[in-house]
Structure 1
Amino acid sequence: MSEIESPDALQARHRKEQRDLVARITQKKKSATKKTRKGVNDECDRLEQELKERHAREASAHNEGAPETPTGELEVEDARDQEPPQTNGNDLAVDSLSISTTPNEPQPDHQGPKKKQNRAKARLARRAAEQDALAAQAAEEAANLPDQRELERIQMKDLFEKHGLQEKEIRADGHCLYVAVADQMETNGLGLKPRIQPTFNGETQALPPYKAVRHAAADFISQNSDDFVPFMEEPLDAYIQKIRETGEWGGHMELMALAKTYRVKINVLHADGRVDRIEPEEGSSSEDEKVIWLGYYKHNFGLGEHYNSLRKTP
């Protein structure tokens, strides 16, 4: 016969599993990117719900399997609390203990169910208090972390001075990479002249600058799909449609496509001082090559990853 887990052991195991899940969820959310964040959040919600439901089932099963005080003892205790039996004339007084333990005449036990219900409520209250304590602890730990946004902003300002740059802030709306590239192309007098002329509804048309950049990236990726498909997590057509027609964020693949189609070198400055240098062609290093600068932010904007345009200081 398997050993029954004690209430204290059950609660201790539940607390440990809750702490382990909090740590696991925290790690998942820290490592999530802008493209995986929704899926990670959904997975974390599912894990929390599954753990909560399993704990509830185990607590319920434990309650049902817990040994109860024998009926006779409970009824004896109740009988002692009752009024002494009355006698009439020569009638023999019936012993209360005998009545209480007679199987054919069970006495109503109002205390048993009430006590069991109270114990269940107490366990639920303790578990809720433990969960609240864990949430408070996590909030306190988060409050004690350094202000990543302010730290990133200070580091970027120092790097602007080092590289002779000034920042043109771009609205954080999902189009930031394309708006920043368009701003750089226009500010540096490079013009929006991609190798592949962007098309819209099958025709070459004038588009808003950021839209032209989106279509230029989409057309280059579409016509050079062998270089990009291995890095995609969805079909090519769906990926291209997102670039052209939605506010989907752009990333490294789009920067590679734009560097090649516009024949410019794209430098992406990070707060840790790193500069990603995306060449228009492999091995190109001409002193006369055209260069544009973007600033990459990870913490400063509500939608997550963000790009600003970095102009040369006059």
Structure 2
Amino acid sequence: MGDTEENDIHARQRKERKEVQAKVQELKKTAKSDKKKKKEILEEIVRLESELDKKHADELNSLNRERKESESTVEGDHEDEHEKKNRTSKAQRRRDKKEKEEREREAMIVAAEALNINTARQKEYLAILQLLLARQLTMHEIPSDGNCLYNAVNHQLVVSGRAALDVTRLRFMTADYIAANKSTLLMYMTNPQTNNPLTDEEFTKYCDAVKNTAAWGGQIEIKALSHSLQVPIEVIQAEGPPTVQGDTDFQGPNLILTYHRHMYSLGEHFNSTKVAPEQSEEEN
């Protein structure tokens, strides 16, 4: 399996993913306008995405098997050459074999995790989608790059009629609030490796990471953003009621985000929301 053919597979999968996403968007619009068929349409969305996920996982498994067979052939050729020219040591062959087995093991783990994650992702996605549709909302997807919380908040500022603030500005505001409220926030902050409360040095590094890196943001950062912006921030999730950060005297409307535990294999993620297209047309 050559690099060109492998790249072609990944390119085709990306194209297929975009086509399914476009189909899903059309189905969402239909679900909004045809409430009698909403359940069937949502199930169709899950079926389309699940089938695509399985198809792509199967293709990656097949790709790995072909690569394994190719490597076995190459290894055999190398062994023949070694017998003739005595160029490859036994130690090198052992290292090559170990590396090949490790690659195969990692590929199997990735494929298995993809299937498990995608199953959980579909269930979570459907649950959140139903909650949003009940509120005449739809999901606005945010890139998964560590800045998802801040980009989602910025999008909400814009759609709610407030002034936009870029990621850099939002991160600075968040870090400054956390640093200024150390005494009240520190009790909720722990070292992820030791689960012990942060030391003063760790707290300083934490604030610096919030301000100057693409560190992922969670509940502490949502609280900091809500108080810095003086707006309530609501988070919709698949399990449990929505959570709202902010004092009762903060002026609405709420900034409404969605929280996803299973959307991406890299970890937790935030998306933004917006009024469903049909709702916008009715208002206009």
Is 1:301 aligned to 2:264, yes or no? Answer: yes
CA deviation profile, 1:59-117 (whole Å, cap 9, x unmatched): xxxxxxxxxxxxxxxxxxxxxxxxxxxxxxxxxxxxxxxxxxxxxxxxxxxxxxxxxxx
Percent identical pairs in the alignment equals 30
The aligned length equals 158
Query: 1:265·1:278 contact (CA, 8 Å) conserved in 2?
Result: yes
Is 1:244 aligned to 2:211, yes or no? Answer: yes
- Secondary structure of residue in 1 paired with 2:233: strand
Name the CA distance, whole Å, in 2 between partners of 1:241 and 1:141. Answer: 33
Name the CA distance, whole Å, in 2 between partners of 1:251 and 1:227. Answer: 16
Following superposition, the deviation at residue 143 of structure 1 comes to 6.7
Name the CA distance, whole Å, in 2 between partners of 1:163 and 1:268. Answer: 14
Name the CA distance, whole Å, in 2 between partners of 1:267 and 1:231. Answer: 20
Name the CA distance, whole Å, in 2 between partners of 1:306 and 1:264. Answer: 21
Which has the greater radius of gyration? 1
Specify which structure has the higher proportion of helix: 2
- Secondary structure of residue in 1 paired with 2:172: helix
What is the root-mean-square deviation in Å for CA atoms of aligned residues?
Answer: 2.7
Q: Which amino acid aligns with 2:169?
A: A
Report the TM-score when normalising by structure 1: 0.46
Aligned to 1:222, which of 179, 200, 211?
A: 179
Aligned to 1:185, which of 157, 161, 165?
A: 157
Name the CA distance, whole Å, in 2 between partners of 1:278 and 1:266. Answer: 5
Instruction: Tell me what 1:292 maps to.
Output: 255
Instruction: Tell me what 2:170 maps to.
Output: 213
Aligned to 2:220, which of 249, 253, 272?
A: 253
Is 1:162 aligned to 2:119, yes or no? Answer: no
Query: 1:263·1:290 contact (CA, 8 Å) conserved in 2?
Result: no
Following superposition, the deviation at residue 270 of structure 1 comes to 0.3
Between 1 and 2, higher relative CO (CA 8 Å, sep ≥ 6) is seen in 2
Report the TM-score when normalising by structure 2: 0.51
User: Mapping of 1:1-314 within 5 angstroms?
Assistant: 147-192=119-164, 209-233=166-190, 234=198, 235-272=202-239, 274-279=241-246, 281=247, 284=248, 289-313=252-276, 314=280
Following superposition, the deviation at residue 151 of structure 1 comes to 1.0
Following superposition, the deviation at residue 294 of structure 1 comes to 0.3
Following superposition, the deviation at residue 145 of structure 1 comes to 9.5
- Residue 171 to residue 145, structure 1, CA distance change in 2 (3 Å): closer
Q: Which amino acid aligns with 1:191?
A: A
Query: 1:159·1:273 contact (CA, 8 Å) conserved in 2?
Result: no
Name the CA distance, whole Å, in 2 between partners of 1:169 and 1:141. Answer: 22
Following superposition, the deviation at residue 302 of structure 1 comes to 2.6
- Residue 240 to residue 266, structure 1, CA distance change in 2 (3 Å): same
Name the CA distance, whole Å, in 2 between partners of 1:209 and 1:220. Answer: 17
- Secondary structure of residue in 2 paired with 1:277: strand
Instruction: Tell me what 1:35 maps to.
Output: none
Q: Which amino acid aligns with 1:243?
A: V
Structure 1: runs of 5+ lacking an equivalent: 1-135, 193-207
Following superposition, the deviation at residue 272 of structure 1 comes to 2.4
- Secondary structure of residue in 2 paired with 1:228: helix
- Residue 153 to residue 230, structure 1, CA distance change in 2 (3 Å): same
Following superposition, the deviation at residue 181 of structure 1 comes to 0.5
Structure 2: runs of 5+ lacking an equivalent: 1-107, 191-197
Name the CA distance, whole Å, in 2 between partners of 1:173 and 1:274. Answer: 26
